[in-house]
Amino acid sequence: MAVAIVQGKNRFRGPSYFNTDFTIMKNTKIRGWENASLAIGFQFFNLFNHPNFDLPNNFSGDPLFGQILGANGPPTNLMGNNTGGDNTRRLIQLRAELRF
């Protein structure tokens, strides 16, 4: 007797990537300068502090098959190039711009 196990399409897809960045700025004209303005504000990176996980292990002979073993991060971020999931936490920075 043969038993067929039917699996749905894309059964072993990984979790989706979610990231939200937000910037709020206040622009103020500078008197005495023709078109100069000062902008001060905050930038929020990964505003909701949502973790992004790697794809599950897809090697069927591995005892860790189907498990997610780490976090995923953008290829570049504020902390440098290719730092990975170690720096996917929420980051807030003060921003000032002098436009002329």
Q: Is residue 11 part of a domain?
A: no
Q: Is residue 33 part of a domain?
A: yes
By percentage, how much of the chain surpasses pLDDT 90? 27
Q: What is the largest CA-CA distance in the chain?
A: 91
Number of folded domains in the chain? 1
Mean pLDDT of 44-58: 83
Q: How far is CA 71 from the centre of its chain?
A: 11
**Residue 56 counted as domain residue:** yes
Q: Is residue 84 part of a domain?
A: yes
Q: How far is CA 18 from CA 46, 67, 95, 96, in A?
A: 9, 20, 24, 28
The β-bridge partners of 26 are 40
Question: Would you state the pLDDT for residue 90?
Answer: 81
Residue at 4 is within a domain: no
Residue 62 lies in a domain: yes
Domain that holds residue 53: 22-99
What integer pLDDT is reported at residue 61 of this predicted model?
84
